[in-house]
Structure 1
Amino acid sequence: MKSFSPILAGLVLALALPVAQAEAPATPDLKEWDIPWDNTRPRDPWVGPQDNTVWFVGQAGDYVATLNPETGSLKRYRLDPGTGPHNVIADERGAFYAGNQAEHIGLIDPDSGEIRKFRLEGDGPKDVHTMAFDANGDIFFTEQGGNRIGWLDVDEYDFRMFDVETEWARPYGIVVSQDNRPWVALFGTNKLATVDAKGTSHEVTLPREGARPRRLDMTDDGMVWYVDYAEGFLGRLNTDSGQIQEWPVPGGPDARPYAMALDDQNRSWFVETGHSPNRLIGFDPKTESFSEPATIPSGGGTVRHMVFDPEARALWFGTDTNTVVRATLR
């Protein structure tokens, strides 16, 4: 494990206040679907390759499910009690879920409901947290308690595990770059992490000691965007130059920005979970302006993860108030 000296050498912090609200992103149109399985914490929707299929997991209900947004119909795939599914991603092979409490990644056949389990390896906690496909359809993932970044070759059932240098760094949100490198938010410290093509881990220290990055996303040109949950900032790391720029979010230091995603115009969207009801806010880096907050109709409770569907130009997320939400961009 090495520190990421090329990036650290170029580290620059610029704190910027948003400019005038003119040309800010328009407030999205929100639609919520009530999930009938009460108190199951539906979360982490993923738009599947099949038409009208949105996957999500019930973290407190031990299920993976689909929603057809055209008809509102739902289908539930029950998992073993105690699985604690945390995240789901899907492609033509089916839906992969993170069995957070049961130490495996599962693959569900949408037609038969059959499940193939990939058991995690190694000592200590094996709490697969958040997953992301790489360019070959294999899976990078984080282990928050295990303090590792992992990679699964799906066809070969082969794992590679990369320890994070900082103790109790709590690897959390993850995204995979165009050059097939994972970038990870280390929620237990003020750092981001990555793994290079040789399998060497590197860490990037954020400028503020109190920062706690939780979720992140990445543009095609190598800009990593992240939200600082602890102190209420939206940040951007240029992975080529190492420059970091940050903006205080509209809700202030107690805003608790959590779920976040980028849209097709490289605008950042995030949910302030420190407010009740939770608030969805967009940020345009061209004008450095924030949108007017869109409040979650059900309140949201806590919105934990979000994805962007480019075909529908919509954001999807689940809530602790037992709903799945589509935010259609204008």
Structure 2
Amino acid sequence: MLKSSFSWLALLLLAVSVCIVLPSRGQNRGQNQEQVQLPDGDGKATVQAACAVCHSMNQVTNAGHDREEWTTVLHMMVNVGAPVPEDQFDTVVNYLSKNFPPKPQPAAQIIPGNVDVSIKEWVVPTPGSRPHDPMFAPDGSVWYSGQMANVLGHFDPKTEQFKEYKLPPKSGPHGLTPDKDGNIWYTANFGAYIGKLDPKTGEVTKYPMPDPNARDPHTPLFAPNGNLYFTLQGANMVGRVNPKTGEVRLNTSPTPKSNPYGMVMTSKGTPYFVEFGAPKIASIDPDTLEIHEVVLPHEESRPRRVAITADDVIYYSDYSRGYLGRYDIKTGKMSEWPSPGGPKSQPYGITIVNGIVWYSESNTKPNTIVRFDPKTEKFQTWAIPSGGGVVRNMVHTPDGNLWIACSGMNRIGEVVIKGGTKVSRKN
């Protein structure tokens, strides 16, 4: 039982390290372990005992956070079983924040403009939840995936009240999408299944992956045909669930280690996804799951999230290069613009409201909300009050406002676009 728990925790922490809670290029458990010497001080022994269970000390020594961020990271680890005694928690946080402070980040570039926004944030109930994806429901409420707390969170903006729904153990909820009946579908990124939560009863229906290699469902999206399509990042696959029959089908990406990531749906019901491990965008045949790839102009491009206009023009966040990219499906034309924060700004969560592109720079200090007008090709930016802590995804509301999840700050936030108009068609 203990061995099983450790292997689960090791897998989970590896996934977390890839997503920048710890360094994005971490080593496997035990690799170079003997080469790392931690600084002396209160908390050292606990760090060695707790962290070495699942990964090398390199992942600790290569990280850098302030005290608040280390507190959140440690809560995340405790949530998934890291053996940190309660009476040692503050000691460990003090040790980590003293010896591994924040690393240099590019300063946020605040560009003024004519649009006025206000940003309000709320701390979610469970410390270390690491809110990952937000979702705006048809009833006006907001949902989020509390990935490291193993919950789906519900927030009523009118009452400002939260409610958390516990999921089956070791699920690691990631992406969210609603169905027409009010159920919340999610990808169990650590549990290798697609889940459906009935908010009325709290009942969860699981759709397990038919292939043991399909370990990490990522982004889910319903198509007009009623089927749910999803990406699997580390497994290098895409998949489809038929909600009526429960059948799950999978297909492997033609590019090895391409890491299928964010996904959108065209007006004709064709899923498109970006490959975070390759400079490519790809489409999925809704019937056969056949994948057709389009190569981006730069070999170094690593698109992470993606949005689409009402007339099927794709915009993507080029995370590795610090660019905003554009791909016109109909003409094949590609364009790109450097993000205001520079090549290390790491653009991430993205959406489109009435033809205007909104996204976040996840590596500037603080993180930013960025507005891009394709007609004028002008940017405007705002700092996220809490710092952001990496905004991995964002969604828009029918009123044209935005909701974000600030993972490292354990918050969700609303971006109100003053003077905005209701969304035409789907965006």
Distance 1:178 1:153 in 2: 20
Distance 1:326 1:239 in 2: 31
Deviations 1:78-135 (A, max 9, x none): 1123111111112324111111111111111111101111111124133100111111
Contact between 1:25 and 1:282, CA under 8 Å: does it hold in 2?
A: no
Distance 2:377 2:148 in 1: 38
Q: Residues 68 and 197 from structure 1, CA distance in 2 versus in 1: closer, same or farther, beyond 3 angstroms?
A: closer
Deviations 1:151-183 (A, max 9, x none): 111111122222211000000000111111111
Superposition pairs for residues 248-327 of structure 1, below 5 Å?
A: 248-263=338-353, 265-291=354-380, 293-310=381-398, 312-319=399-406, 320-327=408-415
1:137 is aligned to 2:226? yes
Give me the identity figure in percent.
36
Contact between 2:214 and 2:237, CA under 8 Å: does it hold in 1?
A: no
Deviation at 1:25, TM superposition (A): 6.2
1:34 is aligned to 2:146? no
Distance 1:170 1:258 in 2: 15
Indicate the SS of the match to 2:277: coil
1:61 is aligned to 2:149? yes
Question: Which deviates more, 67-76 or 125-134?
Answer: 125-134
Q: 1:329 aligns with which of 417, 421, 424?
A: 417
1:126 is aligned to 2:212? no
Greater share of residues in helix: 2
Which consecutive residues of structure 1, in runs of 5 or more, have no partner in the other structure? 1-20
Indicate the SS of the match to 1:305: strand
Q: Residues 25 and 64 from structure 1, CA distance in 2 versus in 1: closer, same or farther, beyond 3 angstroms?
A: farther
Indicate the SS of the match to 1:209: coil
Deviation at 1:27, TM superposition (A): 4.0
Q: 1:100 aligns to what?
A: 189
Contact between 1:57 and 1:87, CA under 8 Å: does it hold in 2?
A: yes
Distance 1:192 1:89 in 2: 22
Contact between 1:43 and 1:324, CA under 8 Å: does it hold in 2?
A: no
Q: 2:178 aligns to what?
A: 90
Query: Hey, which bits of structure 1, 4+ residues long, moved more than 2 A?
Result: 196-200
Distance 2:215 2:286 in 1: 23
1:242 is aligned to 2:332? yes
Which consecutive residues of structure 2, in runs of 5 or more, have no partner in the other structure? 1-110, 419-427
Contact between 1:43 and 1:317, CA under 8 Å: does it hold in 2?
A: no
Distance 1:294 1:70 in 2: 25
Superposition pairs for residues 9-48 of structure 1, below 5 Å?
A: 26-48=115-137
Deviations 1:10-38 (A, max 9, x none): xxxxxxxxxxx89x561421111111211
Q: 1:72 aligns with which of 155, 160, 164?
A: 160
Deviation at 1:198, TM superposition (A): 5.2
Deviation at 1:268, TM superposition (A): 0.7
Deviations 1:33-53 (A, max 9, x none): 111211110121111122x42
Q: 2:291 aligns to what?
A: 201
Q: Which amino acid aligns with 2:318?
A: D
Larger Rg: 2
- Give the alignment's Cα RMSD to 1 decimal: 1.5
Q: Which amino acid aligns with 1:314?
A: N
How many residues were matched structurally? 305
Contact between 2:125 and 2:162, CA under 8 Å: does it hold in 1?
A: no
Indicate the SS of the match to 2:201: coil
Deviation at 1:136, TM superposition (A): 3.0
Q: Residues 279 and 136 from structure 1, CA distance in 2 versus in 1: closer, same or farther, beyond 3 angstroms?
A: same
Indicate the SS of the match to 2:191: coil
Q: 1:231 aligns to what?
A: 321
Contact between 2:271 and 2:286, CA under 8 Å: does it hold in 1?
A: no
Greater relative contact order (Cα 8 A, min sep 6): structure 1 or 2? Answer: 1
Q: 1:161 aligns to what?
A: 250
Distance 2:182 2:118 in 1: 32
1:149 is aligned to 2:212? no
Distance 1:197 1:75 in 2: 35
Q: Which amino acid aligns with 2:355?
A: N
Contact between 2:387 and 2:409, CA under 8 Å: does it hold in 1?
A: yes
Question: Which deviates more, 107-116 or 121-130?
Answer: 121-130
Contact between 1:25 and 1:290, CA under 8 Å: does it hold in 2?
A: no
Contact between 1:25 and 1:284, CA under 8 Å: does it hold in 2?
A: no
